[in-house]
Amino acid sequence: MRHGYIVGTVDAAQLALIAFVLFFIALVFWLRREDRREGYPLEDALTGRVDSNGGPLSTASVKTFVLPFGMGTVVVPLPASDNREPVDIRAERRENFGGAPYSPIGDVFAAGVGPGAYANRARFADRDAHGLPRIVPIGAVPQISVASASTDPRGLPVYGADGARAGTVADLWVDRAEHVIRYLAVDTGHVEGGGRTVLAPMAMAVVRREGVIISAINAADFANAPFPENPGEITRYEEERVVAYFGTGYLYANADRLEPLL
């Protein structure tokens, strides 16, 4: 008796195996196209020439994403002519080969390379689940306060990598969704060359009872740090620029940071 056979020697198990293999091949093909929505088609590192002949696995189908809270839509990928972000970096390649490192030209904080590189994120604020700006001054969220067992940074002096005083912590910017401090508002008004309030990433700060140490940049560099255009919220683009500004200093703030450790 030939129980289980459908046609000749082809049974249900064989059909299931064939179907699985075909499904798996189709899944891999679909996934390899879906991850080509950003950064593709590739371009040559030296000439900038766009490779438009990458084959069927190098092009994703056009998809429209609807952003929450009426923030519009995003269509990806765009046509090759519109899909390239304008790149304006003030640096030069140190060697003539693809992947060679770049060295800043002029103001290192405006170069946009290395630890100071940034992405052109959306120019609207990140939102919480209720559609409210996620990162705001602590005064805008009465239910958030500094824990009594912790040191409140407000009013403490801020010192840079060179040990000089950069300013005073004037306010705290908090994440209303995560209930953590994201940025310190540093008033540089009483410091020579200062006169404005800037934001410094809390993740780069060490809070002590006698003061706040931010070793990413020198004291004189604080006055030129970015600050949100809207005093009550910060856009994703502005967040990227603030973090990039302070990140630049970890490599370029002082000459000795450029040298190898050994």
Per the DSSP assignment, residues forming a β-bridge with 248 are none
pLDDT at 134: 95
For the stretch 187-228, pLDDT in tens is 998 665 556 899 999 999 999 999 999 999 999 999 999 889
State the average pLDDT for the chain: 86
- Residue 19 buriedness (CB in 10 A; 0-12 / 13-18 / 19+): exposed
pLDDT at 56: 72
Average pLDDT over residues 124-137: 93
Torsion of CA 27, 33, 34, 39, to 10 degrees: 150
For the stretch 4-55, pLDDT in tens is 555 667 788 888 999 999 999 999 988 988 888 777 777 777 777 776 666 6
CA distance 88 to 79: 21
Residue 239: helix, strand or coil by DSSP?
helix
With 0.85 as the threshold, say if the pTM is over it.
Answer: no
Residue 58: helix, strand or coil by DSSP?
helix
Average pLDDT over residues 248-258: 89
User: Taking 90 as the threshold, does the pLDDT of residue 98 lie above it?
Assistant: no
